[in-house]
């Protein structure tokens, strides 16, 4: 497939081809009198065009010379298109509906970026072009987790629009997980009516986000049907996921009987029930699964239904007398094989509705799983290598390259379990370098990015800032390599991003992330530079006020400055001199009223090497205490409960007391999202966090080492 970038074509035309040096009126010009003609099955696309361009529909008006003509040309390969623009108008032929849609996106890219703002400019003039192109992979996906952070129909439509501009053609919707159930099931309305809301008086506990309030939501089937249609117009297939048999604490809170049959160990954990998996041996479970998956199969037109299969805690099955009996009957000794049995039953349910299963890579680890399935390789590259080697059609999405809930530099927000990476690393994903053979490549269905949303919960879910910042421009890089590959090279793609995609994303209203500015601090002077047309700002410690950076800054207190850039809707992360990040590690001892976990003892935090955990959840009046060997003088002391940047396993509400002599304590503040930043004016001997909540929705409290900034 020949592919040519539009700027290159414009340049080529204008320098080499006489056609383009014709006077202006001879060019293709779109105005409100421009008509769109189309083959009947392309009607939704003609309609789609009218939202962006100043054109009107003209189904039976052939041969007008100012028309846009949308055609099917079956000689092209799947999803490919040929776009021809000249003075006679625009002819766009696609192999199929998707091909024409992809051609429309190519057409948009040869227009001023404002068209994405749907302002329908009055006149658009276009250079002559012949552009033939088609995708590298038939599967170009993005996963959105609406289970952890609920996002309603409007937010998902916006997300779909943005994906469509990038020619992503699959939206994998993570609809059910431990923390939320987001789709109406008519035969069991309680699943969504109860499971769609957590906290407050819901049996679904709050583990993320708000604690004293019941909140959430779910899609009715009518809303979902509307979304499916909306996506289909934009050449996007929605693939639903119900995560089974693990990640099922939500449905187990609504239907506790689906869990394994043994008394849970809830005493030491203040009532927290660990059990999150469906019992494999309980026959009634398959009737419930048949009901709910049956409705999912009827609702979603996708060939594959994603049924999860990741991170199953098999210890629940090992403790269950019924599962143990089943293992003996079947002659299995490895409890992981129970997942094969469960998935086989689920596959039969799907097959009865003409559907195939899609699963996370763990579900196919034994190799027993049906080859009719599609595997989503997420844990690491090796999981993708293994799945393709076994011959499974595989969606490649290892977390270290494609999980956009990962943070992008160490100081930013987000997870870090898979890697810390930005769009450059996404773009650099290279199958050959990573060891995929030609035979394995034949089993690669395509690529997918993912946005898991447990770290989004506290970011005003109603605002797209965090979602956009985490996803863009990483999705631009994903879309490019899924469509074309990365032969163009990073430097060139980066220049294209800045010169073209940035303005497009601004017009789309995306609050995307800019790459950080380059800063240097030498001989008492800060110098800051960018190469992306952005404006540089800085803030000084102790004040939120933003200042324009206009010239180098002279200071002998470099730790007080943080720099960042803005470009319309976009912004970069903060960057600072290394002195800003410097911390002290004074000797201290940690004690709590909740006991010490043997797997994450106090010593982890005391040595500043890791995190500690308590043995149980917190109750009112429980405390955590830090005693420093010597009083500590500092400009800031940050105390944190919970995992870093994740509102989970925290003390949800509490007060903080400080002592300068280790004996007399005085109140100094309240926890916010499990943490507090103190700015003591005297050396500190001890601090104490006191819980004001009964239960924190998780089985323990996590304690981080204190982060103490020196007085400089
Ligand atoms: C792993 S991806 C998970 C999710 C988390 C995600 C966070 C997968 C199949 N399981 O439950 O949300 O990491 O990055």
Domain of 39, CATH number, reads 3.30.379.10
CA distance 232 to 169: 9
Q: State the Rg of the chain over Cα.
A: 28
Cβ atoms of 97 and 41 within 8 Å: the answer is yes
**Residue 597, CB half-sphere, CA atoms under 13 Å: how many?**
17
Closest CA to ligand 1's atom 13: 452
Tell me, yes or no, whether 327 and 383 share the same domain: yes
User: Could you tell me if 548 and 472 lie in one domain?
Assistant: no
* Shortest-distance Cα residue to atom 7 of ligand 1: 452
Q: Which residues of 510-537 are buried (b: 16+ CB within 10 A; e: fewer)?
A: bbbbbbbbebebeeeebebebebebebb
Peptide bond into 473 cis (omega under 30): yes
Do 442 and 348 sit in the same domain of this protein? yes
Question: What sections of 394-489 are H helices per DSSP?
Answer: 399-402, 423-427, 438-441, 465-471, 474-483
Q: Do residues 93 and 227 share a domain?
A: no
Same-domain status, 90 and 46? yes
**Residue 622 scores a pLDDT above 70:** yes
Write down the residue that tokens 């797209």 correspond to.
464
pLDDT in tens, 286-310: 999 999 999 999 999 999 999 999 9
**Residues 486 and 541 both lie in one domain:** no
Residues 325 and 263 reside in one and the same domain: yes
In a domain? residue 2: no
The mean pLDDT of 228-249, rounded to a whole number, is 98
**433-444 pLDDT per residue, tens:** 999 999 999 999
Res. 5 pLDDT band, cuts 50 70 90:
very low
Whether pLDDT at 137 is above 80: yes
Residue whose CB lies within 8 A of the most ligand 1 atoms, among 399, 400, 452, 645, for a mutation test: 452
Q: Which residue, 508, 537, 569, sits at the end of a domain? A: 508
423 burial type by CB count under 10 A (0-12 exposed, 13-18 middle, 19+ buried): buried
Question: What atom of ligand 1 comes closest to residue 148's alpha carbon?
Answer: 12
Please name which of 50, 39, 127, 124 lies closest in space to residue 83, comparing C-alpha atoms: 127
Q: Beta strands 623-632 and 588-592: pairing type?
A: antiparallel
Instruction: Using the atom order of ligand 1, give the atom closest to the CA of residue 311.
Output: 10
Query: Using CA atoms, how far apart are residues 553 and 580, in angstroms rounded to an integer?
Result: 16
- 394 and 317 fall within a common domain: yes
**Ligand 1 site: residues with CB under 6 angstroms?**
310-311, 360, 378, 403, 405, 415, 452, 454
Q: Would 625 be classed as within a structural domain?
A: yes
- Distance between CA atoms of 700 and 129, rounded to whole angstroms? 63
| pLDDT recorded at residue 375 | 98
Per the CB < 8 A criterion, the answer to whether 234 and 48 are in contact is yes
Instruction: Report helix angle 97-109 to 153-165, nearest 10.
Output: 80
The Cα 451–Cα 403 span in angstroms is 6
513 inside domain: no
Question: Residue 427: which domain range?
Answer: 139-508
pLDDT tens figures, 328-380: 999 999 999 999 999 999 999 999 999 999 999 999 998 889 998 999 999 99
Residues near 153 by beta carbon (within 8 Å), at least 6 away in sequence: 219, 223, 226, 227
Q: Is 85 exposed, middle or buried (0-12, 13-18, 19+ CB in 10 A)?
A: buried
Determine the distance separating the centroid of ligand 1 and the alpha carbon of 425, expressed in angstroms.
Answer: 20
Q: What is the pLDDT of residues 409-418, one digit of tens each?
A: 999 999 999 9
Q: What is the pLDDT of residue 64?
A: 55
Answer for the pair 76, 94: CB distance below 8 angstroms, yes or no.
yes
Atom of ligand 1 nearest to the CA of 360: 9
What is the tens place of the pLDDT at every residue in 528-563?
Answer: 999 999 999 999 998 999 999 999 999 999 999 999
Atom of ligand 1 nearest to the CA of 403: 14
How far, in Å, from the CA of 244 to the mean position of ligand 1?
13
Beta strands in 81-191 (DSSP E): 81-86, 89-94, 124-126, 129-133, 139-145, 170-177, 180-181
Tokens of residue 334, six digits? 């490895």
Could you tell me the distance, in angstroms and rounded to a whole number, from the CA of residue 365 to the centre of ligand 1?
17
Closest CA to 506 of 593, 430, 587, 566: 566
Q: Which residue in the block uniquely carries the two structure tokens 């989004």?
A: 456
290 and 340 inside one domain: yes
Same domain, 540 and 627: no
Q: From ligand 1's centre to the CA of 418, what distance in Å? A: 10
Query: Parallel, antiparallel, or unpaired: how do β-strands 702-703 and 612-613 relate?
Result: antiparallel
Would you say residue 222 has pLDDT above 60?
yes
For residue 644, give the CATH number of its domain.
2.60.120.260
Decide: 159 and 153 in contact? Cβ < 8 Å: no
Q: Confirm whether 695 is domain-assigned.
A: yes
Phi/psi class of residue 95: alpha, beta or left (left: φ > 0; alpha: ψ in -120 to 50)?
alpha
What percent of the chain is modeled with pLDDT above 90? 87
pLDDT at position 21: 35
Domain shared by 471 and 532, yes or no: no
Residue 2's pLDDT band (boundaries 50, 70, 90)? Answer: very low
Look at residue 1 and tell me if it is in a domain.
no
3-class SS at 506?
Answer: helix
Among 487, 508, 529, which residue terminates a domain?
A: 508
Residue 3 lies in a domain: no
CA 602 to chain centre: 33
In CATH, what number is assigned to the domain containing residue 330?
3.20.20.80
Residue 103 lies in a domain: yes
Indicate whether 143 and 262 sit together in one domain.
yes
**Token code pair at residue 164:** 């469509």
Number of domains in the chain: 4
Protein residue with its CA nearest to atom 5 in ligand 1: 452
pLDDT at 461 (0 to 100): 66
Distance (Å) from CA 461 to ligand 1 centroid: 19
Picking from 663, 588, 590, the residue whose alpha carbon sits closest to that of residue 629 is 588
Query: Would you state the structure tokens that stand for residue 375, as one six-digit string?
Result: 């595997």
- Domain membership of residue 93 (yes or no) is yes
The answer to whether the CB of 365 falls within 8 A of the CB of 336 is: yes
Ligand 1 closest atom vs CA 405: 14
Rounded distance between C-alpha atoms, residue 423 and residue 565, angstroms: 17
**CATH number, domain with residue 536:** 2.60.40
Which of 13-17, 211-215, 358-362 bottoms out in mean pLDDT, i.e. has the lowest?
Answer: 13-17
Centroid of ligand 1 to alpha carbon of 686 (angstroms) = 37
Q: Are 532 and 567 in contact (CB under 8 A)?
A: yes
Task: Say if residues 440 and 392 touch (Cβ distance below 8 Å).
Answer: no
Contact 77, 1 (CB under 8 A): yes
pLDDT at 271: 82
Q: Which of 311, 397, 400, 406 to mutate to test the pocket of ligand 1 (most atoms within 8 A of CB)?
A: 311
Alpha helices in 1-96 (DSSP H): 6-16, 43-50
Kindly give the distance from the C-alpha atom of residue 51 to the centroid of ligand 1, in angstroms, as a whole number.
37
**Given 133, 168, 202, which residue is the final one in a domain?**
133
């Amino acid at each position: 497939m020949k592919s040519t970038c539009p700027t290159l074509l414009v340049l080529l035309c204008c320098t080499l081809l006489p056609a383009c040096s014709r006077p202006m009126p001879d060019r293709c010009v779109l105005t409100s009198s421009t008509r769109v003609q189309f083959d009947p099955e392309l009607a939704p696309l003609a309609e789609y065009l009218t939202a962006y361009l100043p054109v009107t529909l003209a189904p039976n008006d052939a041969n007008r010379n100012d028309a846009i003509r949308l055609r099917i040309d079956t000689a092209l390969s799947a999803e490919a298109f040929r776009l021809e623009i000249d003075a006679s108008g625009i002819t766009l032929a696609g192999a199929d509906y998707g091909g024409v849609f992809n051609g429309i996106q190519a057409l948009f890219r040869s227009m001023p970026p404002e068209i994405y703002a749907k302002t329908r400019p009055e006149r658009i003039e276009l250079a002559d072009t012949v552009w033939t192109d088609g995708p590298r992979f038939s599967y170009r996906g993005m996963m959105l987790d609406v289970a952890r952070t609920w996002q309603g129909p409007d937010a998902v439509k916006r997300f779909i629009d943005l994906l469509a501009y990038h020619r992503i053609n699959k939206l994998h919707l993570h609809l059910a997980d431990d923390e939320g159930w987001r789709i109406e099931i008519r035969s069991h309305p309680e699943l969504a009516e109860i499971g769609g809301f957590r906290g407050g008086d819901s049996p679904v506990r709050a583990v993320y986000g708000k604690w004293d309030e019941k909140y959430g939501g779910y899609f009715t089937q009518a809303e979902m049907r509307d979304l499916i249609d909306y996506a289909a117009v934009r050449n996007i297939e929605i693939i639903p996921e119900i995560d089974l048999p693990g990640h099922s604490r939500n449905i187990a809170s609504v239907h506790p009987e689906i869990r394994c049959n043994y008394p849970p160990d809830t005493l030491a954990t203040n009532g927290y029930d660990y059990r999150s998996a469906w019992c494999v041996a309980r026959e009634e479970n398959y009737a419930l699964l048949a009901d709910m998956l049956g409705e999912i199969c009827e609702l979603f037109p996708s060939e594959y239904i994603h049924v999860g299969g990741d991170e199953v805690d098999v210890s629940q099955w090992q403790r269950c007398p019924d599962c143990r009996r089943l293992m003996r009957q079947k002659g299995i000794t490895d409890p992981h094989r129970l997942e094969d049995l469960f998935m086989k039953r689920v596959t039969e349910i799907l097959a009865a509705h003409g559907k195939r299963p899609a699963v996370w890579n763990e579900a196919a680890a034994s190799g027993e799983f049906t080859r009719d399935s599609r595997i989503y390789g997420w844990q690491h590259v090796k999981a993708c290598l293994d799945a393709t080697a076994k011959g499974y059609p595989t969606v490649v999405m290892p977390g270290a390259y494609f999980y956009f809930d990962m943070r992008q530099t160490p100081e930013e927000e987000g997870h870090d379990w898979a890697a810390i990476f930005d769009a450059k690393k996404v773009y650099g994903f290279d199958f050959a370098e990573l060891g995929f053979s030609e035979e394995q490549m034949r089993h690669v269905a395509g690529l997918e990015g993912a946005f898991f949303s447990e770290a989004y919960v506290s970011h005003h879910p109603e605002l797209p800032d965090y979602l956009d910042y985490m996803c863009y421009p990483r999705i631009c890089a994903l879309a490019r390599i899924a469509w074309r590959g990365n032969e163009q090279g990073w430097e060139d793609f980066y220049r294209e991003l800045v010169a073209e995609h940035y303005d497009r994303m601004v017009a789309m209203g995306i609050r995307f992330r800019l790459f950080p500015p380059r800063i240097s601090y030498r001989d008492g002077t800060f110098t800051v530079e960018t190469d992306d047309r952005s404006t540089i700002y800085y803030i000084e410690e102790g004040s939120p006020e933003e200042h324009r950076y206009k010239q180098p800054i002279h200071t002998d207190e470099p730790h007080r400055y943080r720099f960042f850039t803005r470009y319309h809707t976009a912004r970069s992360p903060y960057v600072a001199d290394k002195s800003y990040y410097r911390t002290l590690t004074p000797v201290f001892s940690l004690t709590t009223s909740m006991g010490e976990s043997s797997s994450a003892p106090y010593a982890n935090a005391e040595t500043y090497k890791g995190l500690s955990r308590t043995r149980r959840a917190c109750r009112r009046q429980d405390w955590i205490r830090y005693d420093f060997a010597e009083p500590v003088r500092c400009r800031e002391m940050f105390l944190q409960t919970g995992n870093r940047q994740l509102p989970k396993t925290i003390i949800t509400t509490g007060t903080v007391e400080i002592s300068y002599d280790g004996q007399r304590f005085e109140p100094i503040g309240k926890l916010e999202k499990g943490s507090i930043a103190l700015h003591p004016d005297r050396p500190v001997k001890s601090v104490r966090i006191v819980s004001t909540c009964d239960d924190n929705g998780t089985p323990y409290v996590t304690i981080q080492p204190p982060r103490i900034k020196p007085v400089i």
